[in-house]
Amino acid sequence: MALPREYLGQSCSIARALEVVGERWSLLIVRDAFFGLRRFSDFSAHLQIPRAVLTERLEFLVGEGVLGRTPGPGRRFEYELTDKGLELWPVVRTLSQWGDAHYAPDGRRRVFVHAGCGGEPDPLGGCPVCGETVVPAAMVMVPGPGMATGPDADPISVALSLPRPLLEPVT
């Protein structure tokens, strides 16, 4: 699939990266994939975006090799981060860290912890406790002080408000 080339004339790698993941919703789809979402219906329930938009974004991310699409149970497809997609973790984490610092008055909603030692890796995966470089698959996300789930929350949001390993399928 061709790049949309929204940033014609901007040949720097930041512009190229934004052509792939800078489209509205794309990075939230990637975030949800890190959180363990794999099915169209789950992305749809959690993100509450029009199905046509979700379809288009998933197709594009598959075309760019950020997500892989494989047959799942029943006749459903499942979407899973590829190695290239997993490399977006530092982008997701630097964004969330900046958002935590400036737009989380009640505190962080999620904390990402190294399952091995309980340390909190920096956005590049560096663990300040054990010194290892921690991949997302070795992290657990736990609710922070800013986490609040209303009684009308969808099942996916409820599941994601509990401690759970990153990338472990939600459903």
17 binds a copy of itself (CB under 8 A): yes
Dihedral (C-alpha) 113, 31, 103, 126: value to the nearest 10 degrees?
Answer: 40
28 binds a copy of itself (CB under 8 A): yes
103 binds a copy of itself (CB under 8 A): yes
List 1, 5, 14, 50, residue binding a copy of itself (CB under 8 A): 14
145 binds a copy of itself (CB under 8 A): no
121: part of which helix (H) or strand (E)? none
129 binds a copy of itself (CB under 8 A): no
8-state DSSP, 39: S
162 binds a copy of itself (CB under 8 A): no
104 binds a copy of itself (CB under 8 A): yes
90 binds a copy of itself (CB under 8 A): yes
Minimum CB separation of residue 27 from a copy of itself in Å reads: 6
What is the pairing mode between strands 77-81 and 67-71?
antiparallel
What number of other Cβ atoms are within 10 A of residue 53's Cβ?
14
102 binds a copy of itself (CB under 8 A): yes
54 binds a copy of itself (CB under 8 A): no
5 binds a copy of itself (CB under 8 A): no
- Backbone Cα Rg of the chain: 16
- Alpha-carbon distance of 138 to 129, in angstroms, equals 14
**Which residue lies nearer to a copy of itself by CB, 88 or 134?**
88
Over 79-115, what HEC string results?
A: EEECHHHHCCHHHHHHHHHHHHHHHCCCCCCEEEEEC
- Here the tokens at position 68 are 């892989």
Residues contributing to the site for a copy of itself (CB under 8 A): 6-18, 20-22, 24-25, 27-28, 31, 47-48, 84, 87-88, 90-104, 108-110, 122-124
